[in-house]
């Protein structure tokens, strides 16, 4: 089973409306979709701490998850471990994608893309879109999500995306951060 | 920064429509992904139609408002002229389509 969960910090559906990224818009109309809701954990580190709950990076590996670029530490944790403060979004995406290709099939790849929210241009979103499309082309199952949306003025949106091969429970409710990891653990089983 | 639409309760929506010569109400729910896409598209056209009042109703919070206006799918935009519904858009539509509907409202 080739499975991956990728969290893109700061990507909301408003980005899809503004920039019309081809692949993500295709997914919006073709796979299970939902809305992540979170107003309390709106930095990459706090969001991942909430998503992981009691699970450490070592625990992830014990459960056949492959952590990638998780922003709990500096440099980030997992494969690759990156000093993202010195990188561009494109460099971050390339580094994560390279490891993704190497680790394919060894477990559920769980990655964080942290620099999109620093570069919320349509060019930035198109880059993310291209890499997600490349990943999807070799995956059996995936979750592409955002723990929170884009920033408008001084406020970040509480709504992030959820696009997946995995139907979520309770379709008429938003997805909370603590519900994401159980879904990720299920990814490798289908 | 995007223009925010007035959030209306079940009790406020009828008054909002009756007090507006031309109005558009966006019926949505937080869990509905296409609702967020359409909302952004609507936000983008609001400054072009100062004569139209735009409001939003969260149908999860106010399900009675959805019943009142026979909203069976989300997102739904209902366009009102002089307090009466004159058009309805269900689902995400391209910006140009929305603009044509609003031009018809204003010109009509």
The pLDDT tens digits of the residues spanning A2-12 come to: 999 999 999 99
Chain B contact set for A26 (CB, 8 A) = none
| A28/B33 Cβ within 8 A | yes
ipTM, 2 decimals?
A: 0.94
pLDDT of residue A168: 85
pLDDT of residue A177: 98
pLDDT of residue A190: 55
Helix (H) or strand (E) holding A5: strand A3-8
Residue A169: count of CB within 10 angstroms of its CB:
10
Map tokens 């609001």 to a residue.
Answer: B46
Mean of pLDDT values over A47-66: 97
Pairing of strands A65-68, A108-113: parallel
The pLDDT tens digits of the residues spanning A124-183 come to: 999 999 999 999 999 999 999 999 999 888 899 999 999 999 988 889 999 999 999 999
Q: Does A174 touch chain B (CB under 8 A)?
A: yes
- Specify whether the backbone of B40 is left (phi greater than 0), alpha (psi in -120 to 50) or beta: alpha
| A35/B30 Cβ within 8 A | yes
Tokens of A141: 């199952």
Peptide bond into B75 cis (omega under 30): yes
Q: Does A145 touch chain B (CB under 8 A)?
A: no
| A171/B30 Cβ within 8 A | no
| A28/B40 Cβ within 8 A | no
Q: Does B91 touch chain A (CB under 8 A)?
A: no
Q: Per-residue pLDDT for B97 more than 70?
A: yes
φ and ψ of A19, to 5 deg: -110, -15
Q: Please list the residues that pair with A158 across neighbouring strands.
A: none
pLDDT of residue B25: 98
Task: Considering the domain delimited by B6-107, tell me its CATH architecture.
Answer: 3-Layer(aba) Sandwich (3.40)
In chain B, DSSP finds a helix count (H) and a strand count (E) of 4, 5
The pLDDT tens digits of the residues spanning B26-53 come to: 999 999 999 999 999 999 999 999 999 9
For A13, the closest of B2, B36, B60 (CB atoms) is B36
Q: Per-residue pLDDT for B1 more than 90?
A: no
Map tokens 């459960």 to a residue.
Answer: A63
Chain B contact set for A171 (CB, 8 A) = 31
């Amino acid at each position: 089973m080739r499975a991956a969960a990728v969290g893109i910090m700061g990507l909301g559906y408003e980005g899809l409306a503004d920039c019309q990224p081809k692949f993500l818009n295709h997914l919006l109309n073709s796979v299970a979709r939902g809305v992540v809701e979170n107003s309390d954990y709106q930095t990459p580190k706090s969001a991942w701490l909430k998503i992981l709950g009691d699970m450490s990076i070592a625990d992830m590996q014990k459960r056949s998850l492959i952590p990638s670029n998780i922003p709990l530490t500096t440099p980030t944790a997992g494969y690759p471990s990156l000093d993202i403060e010195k990188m561009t979004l494109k460099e971050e995406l390339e580094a994560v994608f390279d490891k993704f290709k190497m680790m394919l099939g060894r477990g559920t790849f769980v990655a964080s893309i942290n620099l999109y929210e620093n570069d919320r241009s349509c060019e930035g979103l198109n880059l993310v879109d291209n890499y997600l499309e490349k990943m999807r082309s070799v995956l059996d199952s995936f979750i592409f999500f955002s723990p929170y949306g884009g920033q408008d003025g001084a406020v970040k949106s509480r709504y992030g995306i959820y696009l997946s091969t995995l139907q979520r429970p309770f379709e008429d409710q938003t997805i909370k951060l603590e519900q994401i990891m159980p879904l990720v653990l299920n990814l490798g089983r289908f | 920064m995007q223009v925010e639409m007035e959030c209306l309760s079940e009790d406020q929506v009828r008054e909002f429509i009756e007090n507006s010569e031309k109005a558009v109400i966006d019926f949505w729910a937080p869990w509905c992904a296409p609702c967020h896409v359409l909302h952004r598209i609507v936000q983008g056209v609001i400054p072009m139609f100062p004569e139209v009042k735009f409001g939003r109703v969260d149908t999860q919070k106010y399900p009675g408002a959805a019943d009142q206006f026979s909203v069976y799918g989300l997102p739904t935009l209902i366009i009102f002229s002089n307090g009466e519904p004159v058009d309805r858009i269900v689902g995400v539509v391209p910006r140009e389509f929305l603009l044509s509907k609003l031009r018809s409202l204003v010109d009509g």
